[in-house]
Chains A and B, each alone.
Chain A
Amino acid sequence: MSKSLRFLLPLIVFGALVVLLVFGLGKDPTKVPSPLIDKPVPAFSLPELTDPQRRVDNDDLKGQISLVNVWASWCNSCRQEHQALMALSSQTDFQIVGLNWKDNAEDALAVLRMTGNPYAMNGYDPDNKVGIHWGVYGAPETFIVDQQGIIRYKHIGPIDRQVWEETLQPLIARLKAEE
């Protein structure tokens, strides 16, 4: 490598990084225009976390609004979010369905025992078999699925009060009104 090129290298690397960040900025991950928005939920069937005999599948997401929450026991943000989900679990306008992702059942169950279980049911997806079809790339993520089983919104990152009040709650109210 010629000498001047060696000194240019850091600049070149940085340039590449900038291109990447611009890409990232264009695709603001908190509102990823997921290709799945307004599409039906991909076909899936998973064992239920607390009761592996039962299955969680597409039919469970029909007939009422569902908040499908991707979580894992190793995910710190999920632990933060968990308490918000607990507060939401008493609402009757929608059900909270968990997608326990890349986790092991023992740890996940410990979390639910410890901090309460806000989920109506939990699909257990340790190997990302279903997550990959849903386009999950991190935890936590939350999908809003309407009564017909169509994905209407995807939120990336933890749900906090602001996200709930400003985005999710109005959306759910709108879906409820469409009924």
Chain B
Amino acid sequence: MIPELGHLALILALLLAIAQAGFPLIGSLTGHRPWMAMARPLAYGQLAFVAIAFAALADAFLISDFSVLYVSQHSNTLLPDIYKFSAVWGGHEGSLLLWALMLAGWGAAVATFSRNLPLPVVARVISVLGLVAIGFLLFMLLTSNPFERHFPVPPEGRDLNPLLQDFGLAVHPPMLYMGYVGFSVAFAFAIAALIGGKLDAAWARWSRPWTLVAWVFLTIGIALGSWWAYYELGWGGWWFWDPVENASLMPWLVGTALIHSLAVTEKRAAFKSWTVLLAISAFSLSLLGTFLVRSGVLTSVHAFATDPARGLFILIFLCLVIGGSLSLYAWRAPQVAEGGRFGLVSRESALLVNNLLFVAFTVLVLFGTLAPLIYEAFDLGKISVGFPWFNKMFLALAPFLALLLGIGPLARWKQDDPWRLTRLLKTAFVLSIAIMAIGNLPIVSGGAAWVPVGLALATWLVVAHLHLLRERLQHKQAGWPRALLADLGGNGRSFYAMVIAHLGVAVFIVGVTMVSNHEIEKDVRMSPGDSHELAGYRFEFLGARKVDGPNYIADQGHFLVYRGKRQVAELFPEKRAYLGGGMPMTEAAIDAGVFRDIYVSLGEGVGGGDWALRLYYKPYVRWIWMGAVLMALGGAIAVSDRRYRNARARRSAPAGVLDAKA
């Protein structure tokens, strides 16, 4: 009964979405206010019904209702409750429902936090979100209904993929989806502005906080995914250039370009058509990401579903959404005056190059991900673009981004004096060269050329941003501590947010550089009582025994790790066989530290109590995720900047700018 209610709620949500896409938009074009005013209640209604559907599915999972096909495929009575809940989005149908729920959530959030926006703008934004919702709800109801029943009812479910029975993967998809779906709001604002025919600073200011929030979620989502891959796959890697990882990276890259471009549009009224195009692209790539994962056009570990019928639906949906918005762009954008001229040496130029680099990287990732398809389509022979290719591309572009990142924030808007910049950056340059020289010593670099380069770039970034802080604070009369506090309480928060996010990049660079060039891994065969030295640590293997988990049986190894005489860690790596069947899973044991991780993963039992094992020493690997966390933190602080709250409180200021009828 409850699953049928969920199904019904989905159908009602679809009807509401159709109303949401239609009435407010038509109202905004004809100037009919009551129709425009329907936008908010419809957005709330949409959320309510999708939430009911979601709750119904969650209920089916929690009570293990295996008469629901989807539940029987992805759950099991032995599954711990938390994974029963996260199993809701452990498969194709449920993750779509999660998408729809988040989309409705973002819609309701726009309805709530847009009190000061002109009604036609709100109406158009919510209508565009409604259009997107129609696509997703139709997709679910036509091709992937999560509430489908089947008969006979199996006594036991098939179990959730063991890979997904993990905290990291329970929270990774929701974060990622929050980011993907969040870009729909930036997209909706862009489309609303194109429909309204006015792209201006006010538009950029409205969509900036939304875009930032989406970007923060996406950043955290990607970092979580990387962290999960690191500890769960048992191979110590943190990024694999897997098509699905790429699918999340592309919107992130374009989204990063977008938040920078929005800043220019808001402050200098420049880059308008660029910004709109980036907003459309970020969301399009989010959709494409969904498409690549779901349709089976590209297969990957993560692929939940491969079904050409679904693929065709998404393709048509993609064509309508992206093709439609790009047509709208081609039609309306030429009428937008490009304001804000700027000189060759200026912050605008730096940000433009920054955007171009991000876009170039996105195009490369897109090409690499689609290369097998491209070659297939044109009969160019066969190709596999793998890990080394992507790494090469990344290394070809990333250093330029880092260099630019040291210059851009110091440059002035509009026009700057190259000599002033040179003077400012002198110290950073000298220090970077010094670090490069130190990094080049064999004891630091271990012979790897990228070590001095990476460390020098990180130094460059840090010193340049310290300059920036000094520049800002030294002219304040109250003395810097008070100036800092005043800034943080006042309108300056976004400045510090930027500094934090950029320092996150430096931290990330150090992490990537060190772990890529200095990690040590070793395959060993050990008998109980054996010890093994690795990177100054002594691993003592005490043996392995069988342990019972809630829904698995594991071989659990027992290790003591010593540094000199001191014991630094006790590790219990496992190899689990899940009772629901399927493949055994490796659970690596990790002793995490700021400067290094020690990582043991259990291979195969080779008889007589001996085990094949893999030992890792991973220097600075945490810095990769700490960097990402700092970037996300920067984004979050930027959203809290008072400017946006003021914008919310100020009722009339920007109103009317976008009021013009199409």
Contact = CB atoms under 8 A, between A and B. Distances in A.
Interface stretch (B149-157, B323-331, B394-402): B323-331
A136 B383 CA distance: 8
B323 A15 contact: yes
A24 B376 contact: yes
Nearest to B240: A76
Contacts of A55: none
A24 B373 contact: yes
B233 A79 contact: yes
Given A20-B377, A113-B523, A114-B603, A161 B582 contact: yes
B320 to A, nearest CB: 11
B382 A7 contact: no
B471 interface: no
Nearest to B302: A77
A14 to B, nearest CB: 6
B297 A24 contact: yes
A85 B126 CA distance: 50
A21 B315 contact: yes
Interface string A1-45: 001100110110011001111111101111000000000000000
Contact of B372 (A80, A102, A137): A137
Interface in A139-172: 139, 156-158, 160-161
B329 A156 contact: no
A137 to B, nearest CB: 4
A21 B387 CA distance: 23
Interface in B580-630: 581-585, 603-604, 612-614
A84 B577 CA distance: 12
Nearest to A3: B334
Interface residues of B, number: 61
Given A77-B242, A114-B612, A20 B299 contact: no
B376 A27 contact: yes
Interface stretch (B117-125, B304-312, B434-442): B304-312
Contacts of B383: 137
A52 interface: no
Q: How large, as a class, is the contact surface on chain A?
A: 35 or more
B45 interface: no
B308 A11 contact: no
A8 B330 contact: yes
A2 to B, nearest CB: 10
A74 to B, nearest CB: 5
A148 B318 CA distance: 45
Contacts of B233: 76, 79-80
19 contacts: A7-B329, A8-B330, A10-B281, A10-B329, A11-B327, A14-B284, A28-B308, A75-B386, A76-B242, A77-B299, A87-B583, A114-B603, A114-B604, A115-B603, A116-B604, A131-B382, A137-B382, A157-B300, A161-B582
Interface of B: 163, 233, 235, 237, 240, 242, 273, 277, 280-281, 284, 291, 295-301, 303, 306, 308, 311-312, 315, 318-319, 322-323, 326-327, 329-330, 333-334, 370, 372-377, 381-384, 386-388, 523, 525, 581-585, 603-604, 612-614
Given A131-B382, A137-B383, 20 more contacts: A4-B330, A7-B273, A7-B329, A7-B334, A15-B323, A23-B376, A25-B311, A25-B315, A28-B311, A72-B386, A76-B237, A77-B299, A113-B603, A113-B612, A115-B603, A132-B381, A132-B382, A136-B382, A157-B299, A161-B582
Interface of A: 3-4, 7-8, 10-11, 14-15, 18-25, 27-30, 72, 74-77, 79-80, 83-84, 86-87, 102, 110, 113-116, 131-132, 135-139, 156-158, 160-161
10 smallest A-B Cβ distances: which pairs?
A157-B299, A137-B382, A83-B583, A11-B326, A116-B604, A76-B240, A23-B377, A24-B373, A114-B603, A24-B297
